[in-house]
Structure 1
Amino acid sequence: MRFLLALFALFLISSCKSPEARYPVSQNSGSYINESIELNKEMIAQEEDYIKQVMGENPDTEYLNSENGFWYYYNNKSTDSLNTETPEFGDVVVFDYSISTIEGEPIYAEGERPTREYAIDKEKLFTGLRQGLKLMKEGETVTFLFPSHKAFGYYGDQNKIGRNAPISAKVTLHEIKEEPNNEINNQE
């Protein structure tokens, strides 16, 4: 009997070791993320090269380069020296816009989309248009050339605009309504 108790005690002592960590079968080094970053950089460079090629085919048009990563030109620029206001955070703008391919084929024709009111940086709007509206003055019409990451990106608009599609947007800014807090600050 002692032998069995000793054997049982030995068994209990040997089975009470601390658990060992289990390591994953495969390890991810982050190379997928790095590859994705490189692919996106290449795609953006290709889109920008293509947009520059299209701009080169229109030498009579004066294209401006935005610091936000897109290009634009004025269809109708305000020459009124009193009209210097551009929209700021919270201002409500009233505008119309149409969207076409970079080559000029209509996607959403003029008048197909309703006139829109938008509170600057307080509502949802695709990145490029949100940034482009801040460059405009009342009464101006501007055509913007957006690479896909400034437009509808990877998902498109899930209707007529496909994924990773650079676009052109022709925008007319009708009115800027200052946010009530901005009007008070301007009067002081």
Structure 2
Amino acid sequence: MIQRALYLILLLAAVVSCKTTPEARRPVTQRSGSFINESIERNKALVAKEEEQIEKLIARDSSNTYIASSNGFWYYYNSKSTDSLNVETPEFGDVVRFDYSVKDLYGTDIYTEGEIPTKRYAIDKEELFQGLREGLKLMKANETVTFIFPSHKAFGYYGDKNKIGTNVPIITQVTLHSITHETNK
């Protein structure tokens, strides 16, 4: 009889302790979108500050004619191709050979042309910082162009993990030596 009572108590305990619907777990802390909104505002302020610095630099330089690209950077030609047969710019998959140097907005060398070996780059198929990727597409063979890139078009928040720090706008002088067109177009 005691065994029956014990079984009955265990059976009742099992039935009562089981819930038919699980209870949802609540997060320990709840966050609003404030961090993202603050980050957006910080980035907008940073871009505005850099663009103001770049516009002041351009205003002081009366010896060059700057072109504002639709991609968010500025450039001018140091030497422009006058060859009437040289009208092609690189397209997706073309391999370009070029040299470049990097300075900060004050003109201080970060990387000289000799420090960076001549690069071979397949357009949009390899890694290269965004501004230079877009800038190379504007150039023809045997041209030298100076680009001014805000930090978000250069190395951005992370820098290059060597000489270029966080959020540093740069001036890059690029000489495009050759364009080898992809044969499988």
TM > 0.5: yes
2:128 equivalent to 1:125: yes
TM-score, normalised by the number of residues in structure 2: 0.91
Q: 1:13 to 1:81 in 2, by over 3 A?
A: same
2:66 equivalent to 1:81: no
* Mapping for residues 45-64 of structure 1, pairs under 5 Å: 45-64=48-67
**Corresponding residue to 1:165 among 151, 165, 168:** 168
- The equivalent residue for 2:18 is 16
Aligned-pair CA distance for 1:103: 1.8
Aligned-pair CA distance for 1:9: 4.7
- The equivalent residue for 2:158 is 155
Aligned-pair CA distance for 1:10: 4.0
User: Any stretches of 5+ residues in structure 1 without a counterpart?
Assistant: 183-188
**Corresponding residue to 1:101 among 104, 109, 124:** 104
Q: For the residues of structure 1 that align with 2:151 and 2:133, how far apart are their CA atoms?
A: 14
The alignment-based identity, stated in percent, is 63
AA in 2 matched with 1:152? F
Q: String of CA shifts for 1:96-124, please: whole Å, max 9, x gaps.
A: 10000112111111222111111111111
Q: Equivalent residue of 1:73, what SS?
A: strand
- The equivalent residue for 1:72 is 75
Larger mean CA deviation between 87-96 and 109-118 belongs to 109-118
Q: String of CA shifts for 1:46-70, please: whole Å, max 9, x gaps.
A: 1111111111111232100011110
Q: How many residues align?
A: 182
User: Any stretches of 5+ residues in structure 2 without a counterpart?
Assistant: none
- The equivalent residue for 2:139 is 136
Q: For the residues of structure 1 that align with 2:128 and 2:14, how far apart are their CA atoms?
A: 67
Q: For the residues of structure 1 that align with 2:180 and 2:143, how far apart are their CA atoms?
A: 15
Q: 1:9 to 1:46 in 2, by over 3 A?
A: same
TM-score, normalised by the number of residues in structure 1: 0.90
Q: For the residues of structure 1 that align with 2:39 and 2:138, how far apart are their CA atoms?
A: 32
Q: For the residues of structure 2 that align with 1:65 and 1:145, how far apart are their CA atoms?
A: 10
2:98 equivalent to 1:113: no
AA in 1 matched with 2:16? S
Aligned-pair CA distance for 1:12: 3.2
AA in 1 matched with 2:149? F
2:41 equivalent to 1:43: no
Q: For the residues of structure 2 that align with 1:103 and 1:148, how far apart are their CA atoms?
A: 14
Q: String of CA shifts for 1:135-166, please: whole Å, max 9, x gaps.
A: 00111100000001111111111111101100
